Every structure is written in structure tokens, then in C-alpha cells.
Amino acid sequence: MPPESPPTTSPLNPTTHPTPRTTLLSTTFWEVLPSHQTRITTRLTKIAYLHSQTHTCILATDRAAALASLKAEIEMLDHDISALRAIIRGIDITDLAGLYVVAGRSAHRALQLAKGDLEGLEGSLRGMEERHSYYQVLLATLGFRSHPPPDKTSVASMQKHSSNTEVSSETSSNLDTNLVVLGERADRILASLHVLQSMDQKAPKTRGRVEQMDFAEIILLHTELLENDLRTIRDSADIFEDEHVAAWIDSAVDNDEKACREIAITTLLQKLGELKKEMADASVNILGHKS
């Protein structure tokens, strides 16, 4: 069943006096943007699944097939994000404010609302671009080169052993590998939380309208990925004792490598701090209780 026709002006207070430009922009907000965002979210779900398949499949042929599919999905993600970026950057704030003016808001208030809307869209876009950059680096570590190539700083933090998905028990000599693995797990947990929160919000609103999306299956998949990744982080906590980290940093061959290792540790700690906050929010918003 096709979705209901969107309002021709602001969703806050539709009016019977739309203008062509506000009607077009309203269609962008009610149809085009949600369609692109859903496509990207669905693709991120598939990418997370394919990435897990690249190291969990028993047969080498299955792992190779998953890797090839992963590369194709990441390339399509590049096109999806580029299209979304073009739409968002093409929105004129005065046209957006016009939606609220037609809906009865004052010009000053309409401009404030429009600015907030654009900031929200830009924030969402930045989050997706960060995920895209991460997957570009991931492709590089798996032997592929996406275009444009990842920047040197990102690649430096993903060492040549990062394709190993298990945290090693050998501490100092393998901390670079372990940092990559834990950073990757934290990123996947954040991605899974994003998808779970999105599904939690959309599932009750799209019943009968988005037949191709199996919410239960997606939620189950991301819950399993999240649980496995959390277990990996929890089990590896003792590897990152202060003396091990200090010894690893001091063993750098020069000051540049030492600085890179310090940045890698700081980045991981910041990411884990963000993860802790997101998990607490998810506990309240999705599970309905405080941890």
C-alpha cells in the first residue's frame, strides 16, 4: 500500500494555501529524505551483517563471497550518502523557513525553526559520513581500496594486523592490533544501537506501509551483534592495564609513532565513553529502565 500523501506545507500546522516551492520542499521532507535515510540505514545493517560473515563463515568460499558483497555494498553506500548530501546541501534555509511562515509562524520564529531543522539534518549526515569513512578504512585493511582512499591518519590507526577479529592475549606486542579490534567492535555497537533505536521508533509507525523491511529480523540481528561485541570488549578489559599501555607507548621506534599510539589510546577511550553514554540512553529509551 503506498504511503499517505504528505502535507503540502509544514507538518506542524498544514494550511490550505501552499506555494509551489513550499509544496516541493515539503515533498522533499516527507518523502525523499526519509526514503534516502531508510535506504542508508538498511544498507548499514547489511554491511554489519556481511562484515561479520567475512570472519564467521566456516568455508573460505563463503567468506570470500561475503567480502565481495561487502565491497559492493560499501561502494553503493558511497553513492547513497552522496545523493543524501546533495539533497541536504540543496535546501535553501529561506525556502525552509517559508514552510513555517505559510503555516502561520512569524518570520523570525520560522527562521529559527528552519535553522534547527538544517542543523539536525547536517548532524545526521555527519554521522553517516563518519560511518562511511570507517568502512572505507575497513576496506583498506581487508585488501581493497575505495575511492577516494582513506586519509593517512585513519589508515595509520588501522594497522596491518587489524583483519584479526579476536583480541590477543599477548599484550605489548599486539596492542596495536587489539586497539583496532576494540575500536571496530565499539563502532559496530554504536551502529547497532543506532539501528535499534531507529527500528524502535519506526516499527509502530510503518506497519503495513514498509512491507520489505522485517523489523523483527533486523532487531534480532543487531541485538546478537551487539551482545557479541560487548562480550569481546568486556573479556579484553584486563589487557589494557596501565603498565601494559605505558610499555606499548614507550616501545615506539620514534616520537611520531609514540604520538600516534597516544592518540590511538585517547581515541579508543573517547569512543568507549561515548559507547557507555549511548548504552545508558538505550537502556532508558528502548528497554524502558535505568541501569
User: To the nearest whole percent, how much of the chain has pLDDT over 70?
Assistant: 54
Q: What is the pLDDT of residue 149?
A: 40
Q: What is the pLDDT of residue 205?
A: 60
HSE-CB for 134 with a 13 A CA cutoff: 20
* The residue type at 7: P
- pLDDT higher than threshold 70 for residue 212: no
Highest mean pLDDT among 5-14, 39-48, 125-134, 200-209: 39-48
* Long-range contact pairs involving 153-159 (C-beta distance under 8 Å, separation at least 24): 156/260, 157/183, 157/260, 157/263, 157/264, 157/267
Q: What is the pLDDT of residue 186?
A: 75
Spell out the residues 6+ positions from residue 6 whose beta carbon is closer than 8 angstroms to its own. Answer: 26, 27, 29, 30, 31
Is pTM beyond 0.75? Reply is: no
- pLDDT higher than threshold 60 for residue 209: no
Q: What is the pLDDT of residue 211?
A: 42
- Residue 160: CB atoms within 10 Å: 11
* Cell matching residue 191: 551502529
The least confident of 52-66, 82-96, 202-216, 229-243 is 202-216
Q: What is the pLDDT of residue 174?
A: 58
Segment holding 264, helix H or strand E:
helix 255-285
Q: Which of 189, 183, 199 is nearest to 226 (CA)?
A: 189
Q: Summarize pLDDT for 68-122 with one digit per residue, the tens.
A: 888 888 888 888 888 888 888 888 888 778 777 877 888 888 888 888 888 888 8
Q: How would you class 238 by CB atoms within 10 Å of its CB: exposed for 0-12, middle for 13-18, buried for 19 or more?
A: exposed
Q: What is the pLDDT of residue 161?
A: 32
Calpha distance 264→259 (Å, rounded): 9
Pairwise pLDDT comparison (155 vs 98), residue with the higher score? 98
- pLDDT higher than threshold 60 for residue 155: no
Which position has the grid cell 547536517?
Answer: 122
What is the band of 283 on the pLDDT scale with cuts at 50, 70, 90?
low
Q: What is the pLDDT of residue 165?
A: 42
Q: How many residues does the chain have?
A: 291
State the average pLDDT over residues 51-73. 81
State the average pLDDT over residues 12-21. 41
Contact 167, 92 (CB under 8 A): no
State the average pLDDT over residues 57-67. 81
Q: What is the pLDDT of residue 7?
A: 42
Q: What is the pLDDT of residue 119?
A: 82
Sign (positive/negative) of CA torsion 200, 204, 210, 212? positive
- pLDDT higher than threshold 80 for residue 271: no
HSE-CB for 220 with a 13 A CA cutoff: 4
* The residue type at 30: W
Q: What is the pLDDT of residue 62?
A: 81
Taking phi over 0 as left and psi of -120 to 50 as alpha, with beta for the rest, 53 belongs to: alpha
Q: Which of 36, 39, 132, 116 is nearest to 84 (CA)?
A: 36
Calpha distance 249→261 (Å, rounded): 6
* The residue type at 96: L
Calpha distance 213→164 (Å, rounded): 32
- pLDDT higher than threshold 70 for residue 2: no
Calpha distance 84→187 (Å, rounded): 22
The domain limits of the chain are: 9-151, 157-291
Rg (CA), the chain: 22
State the average pLDDT over residues 30-38. 76
Pairwise pLDDT comparison (283 vs 260), residue with the higher score? 260
